[in-house]
Amino acid sequence: MDQIGIGLAGLGTVGAGVYKHLIQNRAIISERVGLELAVRRIAVRSVGLVRSVHAPAEIITSHWEELVDDPAIEIVVELIGGIDAAYQLIMRALDAGKVVVTGNKALLAERGFEIFEKAAEKGIPIFFEAAVAGGIPIIKSIREGFIGNHIESIHAILNGTSNYILSKMTEESLDFPEALRQAQAEGYAEADPTLDVNGWDAAHKAIILASLAYGFWIGTNQIHVAGIETVNGLDVRFADRLGYKIKLLATIRTNRDDLVEAHVHPTLVPKQHVLASVNGVFNALMVRGDLVGDTLFYGRGAGQDPTTSSVISDLAQAAIWYDSGGKAFGFTPHGWYGECLPIEQVSSGYYLRLSVIDAPGVLAQVASILGSHQIGISSVIQPEGHEGDAVPLVLIIHDAPFDRMRTAVQGIQSLDCVKAQPMLLWVLS
């Protein structure tokens, strides 16, 4: 059986999983692909580090350049993470005519335009299924399964850590700090969970999905991102009372003018919506196409085995592309169309929680400011039994442009009757 040479850059959690399962599942992979995937060189930062897998010492190197320069390697797998070194590796590999597989979501979100421009120039595909939603085959589905569709919208839960924390806050009536501690104790959150809880891990994935769906790269300065750090147990309980669950939701959708929304933030999702039932560390994506209608993808969005599954899938497709002489399907850059809709112009419904003095006329003052910005109120909760000088006032707001809503909230915050910074969350409609 013909062999395809693989150079593996990175032997961390995912890299170790890829190497281990390429060895363990060699027979079934070879049978299905019709080629043997042979790891010929592995680049690591520290050669002497003890690892969970044991590769032959003669194929280990501390210089990733050896993967690019080795003529026996046809496919380079980038799993080192970060931006600068990974970018250099991928660009050098493409210049050398090697097929690239990567799971680096941050790199693709930051510098994907340059990378795919180089890939198009060289006529070489890049495979990146592992960059979004772990083992869920969402990249292939959008790229291939929905190739005849205009993608109308994608709503997605893309970060398992945040979803686990919000699930714990909902199920056990916890506040954010305690739910985060549980996530760290269970190994679902890093010691430094910043990128997970501040929304940027999900945002990087949303940028990649938008590029596939709409043909252009949204800049990191164009996507509106907010995390779950400010969500507290009070918001979770009020959302439940109003018929919602709070999820860190990525929204990517287009309107009739080819203007594309892209935003990631905590969102009130109606309990009857399918995404409201996605709990724990699981990811889910609802994709709507003009032909296929609504489709749902669900599974583990991170972890060694799910991500390894996606990398090996990409390796198989990359090997078939190479063996066919570059004629089998790979990533094909498509026409650039559409523009990013500024977040200020995006309309949504909102949840607004205020801490106000318990006195007559407060709601009238708040409603007056909202009305002056042509913003309507859908429902109001002002619970009794709260002690202290201030009480919560919760409003569900009709759809309004974000800039108008944000300006109204600034006006409300300046009222003497408002005693704390308002909490503003979006509502999925």
Where a domain ends, among 240, 269, 301? 301
Q: What mean pLDDT, rounded, does the chain reach? A: 92
Give domain status of residue 273, yes or no.
yes
pLDDT band at 220 (very low <50, low <70, confident <90, very high): very high
69: its two tokens: 């320069």
Q: Looking at residue 58, what DSSP letter applies?
A: G
Q: How is residue 141 annotated by DSSP?
A: I
Domain identity same for 296 and 308: no
Specify whether 278 is located in the same domain as 313.
no
205 a catalytic residue: yes
Enumerate residues 6+ apart whose C-beta is below 8 A from 235: 246, 351, 353, 423, 425
Classify burial at 57, counting beta carbons within 10 Å of its beta carbon; exposed 0-12, middle 13-18, buried 19 or more: exposed
Rounded to an integer, what distance in angstroms lies between the CA atom of residue 77 and that of residue 388?
59
Domain count for the chain, please give it. Answer: 3
* Among 98, 205, 245, 247, the one annotated catalytic: 205
In this structure, are 103 and 171 located in the same domain?
A: no
Is residue 409 domain-resident? yes
User: H or E stretch including 91?
Assistant: helix 84-95
CA 229 and chain centroid, separation: 17
Distance of CA 6 to the CA centre of its chain: 28
Q: Which of 271, 301, 331 is the last residue of a domain?
A: 301
pLDDT at 337: 59
How do residues 68-106 score in pLDDT, each as one tens digit? 999 999 999 999 999 999 999 999 999 999 999 999 999
14 and 61 assigned to the same domain: yes
Chain segment 229-282, per-residue pLDDT in tens: 999 999 999 999 999 999 999 999 998 787 999 999 999 999 999 999 999 999
Q: What is the pLDDT of residue 51?
A: 82
The CA distance from 112 to 237, in Å, is 40
pTM for the complete prediction? 0.92
Give a yes or no: residue 232 inside a domain: yes
Same domain for 16 and 104, yes or no, is yes
**Which residue is listed with tokens 């501390």?**
62
Q: Tell me the per-residue pLDDT of 379-398, one tens digit each, with 9 for 90 and over.
A: 999 877 666 678 999 999 99
State residue 98's pLDDT score. 95
28 Cβ contact list (under 8 Å, min separation 6): none
SS (H, E, C) 226-270: CCCCCCCHHHHHHHHHHCEEEEEEEEEEECCCCEEEEEEEEEEEE
| Domain identity same for 189 and 286 | yes
Q: What pLDDT band is residue 332 in, cutting at 50, 70 and 90?
A: low
**Rounded Cα gap, residues 33 and 135, in angstroms:** 19
What's the confidence (pLDDT) of residue 418?
95
Domain match, 296 and 313 both: no
Domain that holds residue 61: 3-134+304-323
For residue 184, being part of any structural domain is answered with: yes
Mean pLDDT in residue range 125-145? 92
Residues 293 and 156 grouped into a single domain: yes
3 state DSSP class of 70 = coil
